Amino acid sequence: MAKPAISLAADWQLASAVALPPLLQAWLLEPASLTARLKHRARDFQLQVLQQQQQALPAFLLPLLPDSQVAQCREVLMSCNQLPCVYAQSWLPLKTLAALRPLAELGEQPLGEVIFQQQHVRRSAVEVARVQLHQPLAAAVASGEYWARRSVFTLAGHPLLVAEVFLDGILTL
Ligand SMILES: C=C(O[C@@H]1C=C(C(=O)O)C=C[C@H]1O)C(=O)O
């Protein structure tokens, strides 16, 4: 039985309005593919799909994806050199999936490898927040508060939301 996605409800603010932690600033503001940056810095990169399922969009996300009451929620864990580095939670509206078939057939392929190959990609301003993660995200991830970022990508007019939570392993890269 699918579990509800981990809640990333938090006090989200524009990154430009927040004093960012120096050690995470470059990661929080990375304009290009986060996956590409991770792969470039790690000897060994692993992406694990934790859960991928259709869900009702949480109310706090409706302002970001206003016409998408139902979307596919994709939750992945990205590890570098065997250390968990990023928990990512993406919300792909059904209309976006219908229009962009590669997004519906990702499997273990990183979402960014589809997004950043599109011709017409727009990205909203990045928001950041401190989010609470509790077990059982993954065995090696301690419960606690972590920095996160999110933004809405628009591909050929179709939106999707990507949120990324930076875990302790990121500080080893
Ligand atoms: C948007 C990107 O895709 C990455 C890969 C994801 C996935 O495969 O689910 C989710 C978020 C990102 O960290 C990126 O590389 O910047």
Q: Does 42 have pLDDT greater than 90? A: yes
Q: Does 1 have pLDDT greater than 70? A: no
DSSP letter string, 49-110: EEEEEEEEPPGGGTTTSTT-SEEEEEEEEEEETTEEEEEEEEEEEHHHHHH-HHHHT-TTS-
Q: Does 135 have pLDDT greater than 90? A: no
Q: Does 74 have pLDDT greater than 80? A: yes
Q: What's the token pair of residue 89? A: 């939670």
Residue 127 annotated as binding?
no
User: How much of the chain, in percent, has pLDDT values that exceed 70?
Assistant: 98
**Averaged pLDDT score across all residues of the chain:** 94
pTM of the model: 0.96
Are 93 and 160 contacting, i.e. CB atoms less than 8 angstroms apart?
Answer: yes
Domains, the chain, ordered by start: 13-172 (3.40.1410.10)
Tell me what ipTM this predicted complex has: 0.97
| Per-residue model confidence (pLDDT) at position 37 | 97
Mutate to test the pocket of ligand 1, among 76, 80, 150, 160 (most ligand atoms within 8 A of CB): 76
Least confident of 78-92, 123-137, 149-163: 123-137
Across residues 26-48, what is the average pLDDT? 97
Task: Count Cβ atoms within 10 A of the Cβ of residue 124 and give its class: 0-12 exposed, 13-18 middle, 19 or more buried.
Answer: middle
